[in-house]
């Protein structure tokens, strides 16, 4: 009589007289994961262990992280562009007052990074 594991398509191999189930994670297409995806992965491992384990064992972790990374990067770029426009950060300012332009742009990027982190990475 077959075990439930065998009925569901599982197989075993023998090691030192013991039958060991052949367990493999489902195949998943590797996609590059950027900084936002890496941050979310760290968050999942630390604070959302069940979600992390479910994504890992279902073979969807890489795809999920690549999607989070893409969403976060797009949101970051949109926020930076909108803030630059609303604060009047122009190429003319860059040409005339490079140091001020750099400081203001760094401030905008820091604000956008914080927003994306709260909205997407730690959500």
The SS3 call for residue 33 is coil
Domain limits for position 30 = 4-121
- How confident is the model at residue 3, as a pLDDT? 79
How do 18-21 and 12-15 pair as beta strands? antiparallel
- How confident is the model at residue 121, as a pLDDT? 96
Report the distance separating Cα 120 and Cα 117, nearest Å: 6
Report the distance separating Cα 2 and Cα 18, nearest Å: 16
Report the distance separating Cα 36 and Cα 42, nearest Å: 10
- How confident is the model at residue 86, as a pLDDT? 96
Global confidence as pTM: 0.76
Splitting the chain (123 residues) into consecutive groups of 10 residues, what average pLDDT does each group show?
Answer: 79 86 75 95 97 91 96 98 95 94 97 97 93
How much is the CA Rg of the chain, to the nearest whole Å? 23
Instruction: Give the DSSP H or E segment for 68.
Output: helix 61-86
Domains identified in the chain, total number: 1
- How confident is the model at residue 51, as a pLDDT? 96
CB 20 within 8 A of CB 14: yes
- How confident is the model at residue 26, as a pLDDT? 64
């Amino acid at each position: 009589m077959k075990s439930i594991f065998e009925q569901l398509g599982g197989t075993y191999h023998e090691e030192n007289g013991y039958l060991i189930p052949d367990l493999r994670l489902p195949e998943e297409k590797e996609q590059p994961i950027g900084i936002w995806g890496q941050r979310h992965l760290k968050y999942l491992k630390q604070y959302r262990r069940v979600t992390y384990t479910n994504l890992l064992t279902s073979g969807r972790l890489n795809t999920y992280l690549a999607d989070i990374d893409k969403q976060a990067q797009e949101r970051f770029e949109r926020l930076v562009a909108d803030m630059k426009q609303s604060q009047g950060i122009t190429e003319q300012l860059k040409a005339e007052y490079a140091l001020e332009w750099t400081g203001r742009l760094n401030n905008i990027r820091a604000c956008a990074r914080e927003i994306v982190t709260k909205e997407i990475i730690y959500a």
